[in-house]
Each structure stands twice: as structure tokens, then as C-alpha cells.
Amino acid sequence: MRILLVEDDYMIGEAVSVALKDAAYAVDWVKDGETAGSTLEYGEHEVVLLDLGLPKRDGLEVLRRLRRAGNKIPVIVITARDGVEDRIAGLDSGADDYLVKPFDINELLARLRAVVRRQGGQAAPILTNGRVSLDPATHKATCGDRIVILSAREFALLHALMLRPGRIFARAELEEHIYGWNEEVESNAVDFLIYSVRKKLGAETIKNVRGAGWMVENLS
């Protein structure tokens, strides 16, 4: 899951970005509103964490432009503006959630999971497909009654596939979901992750579609 973090405060940005990476998200961090706007035009990201007080373009303006352009990406506002009016303005400008600084990083992660599953049209916190289920809060996967611990990257891979069962992902798309801008990606990294997830959960968990990519079959 690829996240765009928009935050000009270095300390907060660093703390959030480390915590997100630890939680297996791929994070790209930009520090002003203008760069945020141009970055989002590429549609590489799946969720935005948006500060409001930003250089060059205010966060609310970034949000308004995004929605005016028809972009439906989930946005969680993270800001020190804690007035009721500010929160109303944020939500009415198209934010999906609003978190006031200072916030507990675990609360941010929980809100992120909630926004992501709502976006996937799902209310249940655990993803289930056939015999395999995946808990985004703990990164535990189960296959039948076997419980399997996945590494951060293995989780990121399986999560991307299980959020959209039946959809085929090309290698480049999977890399986009798993790695941020400044992370080196070995050419066989995705193959290796697929190999290790299959080894843990069974070869049938991830299906190869020759010449096209990989998918999780829609069994639910």
C-alpha cells in the first residue's frame, strides 16, 4: 500500500514515515502543497496523509483541487488546527478523516486501516478469501487453522492482491504498491516475495497469469 505523506514539519514527518514503513506501508514524503498537488496527478498513491499548514499551497486548497479534479483517493488530514470550524472545513472539503496533532501513531495506523477497507468496499477488519485470511492490524495470515507470520514486504504484497481479488497485477504495479520512491528494488524482488508467500501459505494462494502478472483468485 503506497501512501503519500504531505508534511512540512521535519520531526513529525520523520516519525510518521518511520512508523508507516515499520507497518509495511510504502511511503513517499513531500513537504509542500504544490509538490503534493503535482505528485497526486500521477495516481501512484492509495491514501494521502495531509497536513493543512503547508508552504506554497495550503492543505485545504490541495484537497479542494483534488476533489474538483474528480480524484477519489482517501485523504486523512493530520493537523494542529483543532477548532471545530477547521475540522468541519476539512471534512467538507473532501477529507475522509481528521486527526489533530499531537496524535498517537497507533491511532493514525488504525484510522488508516479503516479508511483503506472502506475504500475497498469492506467493513470487516480481516480480509478473507477462500482458506486464506489476512489481518491488516497484526500482519498475521491464516490458512485453514495454520497461523503464519509474514514479513513486512510479504504482507504488503499479499495485502495488495487480497484487497482486489480477481484482479491481475503486473510486476511494476506490485512494485509500486510495495516500495517507495527512494527504495532500491531488485529486479527479482517481487518473484522472491511471491515465492516466500506461497511457501508459507500454499502454492495456490497466488496465481500466475502467464505474460500478465499475478492475482489472488476471487473465492469469496
Rounded to the nearest whole angstrom, what is the least distance from the CB of residue 5 to Ca ion in the complex?
Answer: 12
Return the residues of window 157-176 that contact Ca ion according to CB under 5 A: none
Specify the stretch interacting with Ca ion by CB under 5 A; choose among 4-12, 113-121, 144-152, 155-163.
Answer: 4-12
Distance CA 126, CA 113 (A): 10
Rounded to the nearest whole angstrom, what is the least distance from the CB of residue 128 to Ca ion in the complex?
Answer: 39
Site string for Ca ion, 40-69 (x = CB under 5 A): -----------x-x----------------
**Residue 30 interacting with Ca ion (CB under 5 A):** no
The grid coordinates listed for 207 are 496465481
Burial (0-12, 13-18, 19+ Cβ within 10 Å), 151: middle
Distance CA 183, CA 81 (A): 33
Strands, E assignment, 14-53: 26-30, 47-50
Rounded to the nearest whole angstrom, what is the least distance from the CB of residue 7 to Ca ion in the complex?
Answer: 7
Answer whether 164's CB lies under 8 Å from 177's CB: no
**Residue 8 interacting with Ca ion (CB under 5 A):** yes
Residues at the site binding Ca ion, with contacts judged by CB under 5 A = 8, 51, 53
